[in-house]
Amino acid sequence: MSDARVLRSDDPEAERLLAAGWTVVAESWGARLRDPDPDRLRALVQRAEDAGYDVRPLAAGELPAVADLEALTAPDYPLTPATDVPERTLVRLRAMDARFVGAWRGRDLAAVTAVEPGGELVETAWTSVHPDHRRRGLAAAVKAASVLLLLPTGARVFGTGGAAVNAGSLAMNAAVGYVVEERWLSLRPPPSSVTR
């Protein structure tokens, strides 16, 4: 996959490469949440709390639980040239300039999202949910809580993205209010001609 190129679907270069025999090996998307409605976000958090989860920002001392959750969920992320997932060791987590928001069930971390503040624009680094706790609104809840956390800092635009095959990721972001604004193509060149 190292020779793959990732281009926006409306980039004329993508059209040129396709005409030259390159093929689309994966698709991905970028979505934005602009000027979010705090009431809608609070309702998503409340739903998780009503179901018995404690949704809150994580302290630095809780990052080992994040590393454990990421080690467990790593095989569930779809891998494409545009959505590579590095190993999330404790050392790497500590080195990130990120805020982490989690959903706890007792002493178990059931869900986490990591967001990287950047003034007005905040990007989600990733979101993951323990397999035993999926389809209960937890991804939407931690994402909503992360937006509520950063709104008071002046953040207004929240970005996220993922692989087109990741139906769960698209659905959780739509639930929070994210709108897909761009699509990306991962393109691979034609096999080079064999010379004898």
Ligand X SMILES: CC(C)(COP(=O)(O)OP(=O)(O)OC[C@H]1O[C@@H](n2cnc3c(N)ncnc32)[C@H](O)[C@@H]1OP(=O)(O)O)[C@@H](O)C(=O)NCCC(=O)NCCS
Binding site for ligand X (CB under 6 A): 73, 76-77, 126-129, 134-140, 162, 166-169, 171-172, 175
Taking the complex as a whole, how short is the minimal distance between the CB of residue 106 and ligand X, in angstroms? 17
In contact, 63 and 94? CB cutoff 8 Å:
yes
Q: Name the amino acid, one letter, at 53.
A: Y
Residue 89 to residue 100: CA distance in whole angstroms: 15
Minimum CB separation of residue 141 from ligand X in Å reads 7
Smaller CB separation from ligand X, 11 or 108: 108
Q: Which is nearer to ligand X, 145 or 149 (CB)?
A: 145
Choice between 151 and 175, CB closer to ligand X: 175
Residue closer to ligand X by CB (options 14, 176) is 176
Task: Output the six-digit token pair for 61.
Answer: 């001392």
The secondary structure element, H or E, covering residue 159 is strand 157-163
CB-CB contact of 156 with 35 (8 Å): yes
CB of 15 to ligand X, least distance (A): 28
| Cβ(80)–Cβ(96) below 8 Å | no
Give me the least distance between CB of 51 and ligand X, in Å please: 10
Radius of gyration of the chain (CA): 18
